[in-house]
Amino acid sequence: MNRPSSLRAGMCWLRRHMEFGLAVILSLAAAAAWAFVALAEEVMEGGTHAFDTAVLLALRAPGDPADPLGPPWMEELARDITALGGVGVLTLVTLAAAGFLWLQARGATAFYLLAAVGSGVALSNTAKALYDRPRPDLVPHGAAVYTASFPSGHSMMAAVTWLTLAVLVATTFGQRRLRVYVVALAAAVTVAVGLSRVYLGVHWPTDVLAGWAAGGAWALACAALARVLSRGGAIEREDDGD
């Protein structure tokens, strides 16, 4: 086989591989979106009340709903972790990551990151206003709350921000294990934020599950769109820049 034929075969294999990867991402996004819709229907019909109540009370000392399980430092740790899904922290991290990408001469990618996170915030606020679920009243709240309960904004925005950021920034690393590590770390932070919200009594467990589902679906959709845009040259490929 001559060299041009080998090159064409290699490009065909790469194209098929990229199409398969895109299909997998879109399938996962669709599954997460379906999970959110199904969970929202159950919540609105009251089908999750027993589950929510049982889990929330299981995290409290028997006979004393005001006392979370564990020593006092655990509650303080939960507040520290929950801040990783707060507006202030996520705004700072997003701006820092956008600046990092811009310094790498990836201005379009930086703008895409800002747009992906900003639209995720709008989606979260819209969902909260639409469902308008009251916060848990079984236990005292371990953190200040200002909005409706469903879906969990901290859980959803942690997924949107950390996962989207991880996918975009991971492309700056050449080694696959580094990329996997960054994405896995983002997923771990997202899970920890959601668990902290339930532990602090500011969300029903299904609020958090819905936040993960919606945030994961949005992050996956953004990742899929980023692949399409990079392929068309609208945002920089990972090997572009200095």
Mean pLDDT, 10 residues at a time, the chain of 242 residues? 48 53 86 94 92 92 85 92 94 92 88 93 92 86 81 94 86 81 94 95 94 94 86 64 42
**What is the model's pLDDT at position 237?**
61
Tell me which residue has tokens 């199904």: 38
Q: Which pTM was predicted?
A: 0.85
Residue 24, both tokens: 């997998």
CB-based contacts of 160: which residues, under 8 Å, 6+ apart? 116, 117, 120, 121, 124, 215, 218, 219, 222
Contact 222, 159 (CB under 8 A): no
**What is the model's pLDDT at position 151?**
92
Residue 156, both tokens: 């959803």
Bridge partners of residue 68, in order along the sequence: 60
Nearest C-alpha neighbor of 39 from the set 199, 27, 191, 31: 31
**What is the model's pLDDT at position 216?**
93
Grouping H, G, I as helix, E, B as strand and the rest as coil, residue 58 is helix
Angle at 241 between CA 235 and CA 242, to 5 degrees: 170
Tell me which residue has tokens 């709008």: 122
**What is the model's pLDDT at position 16?**
52
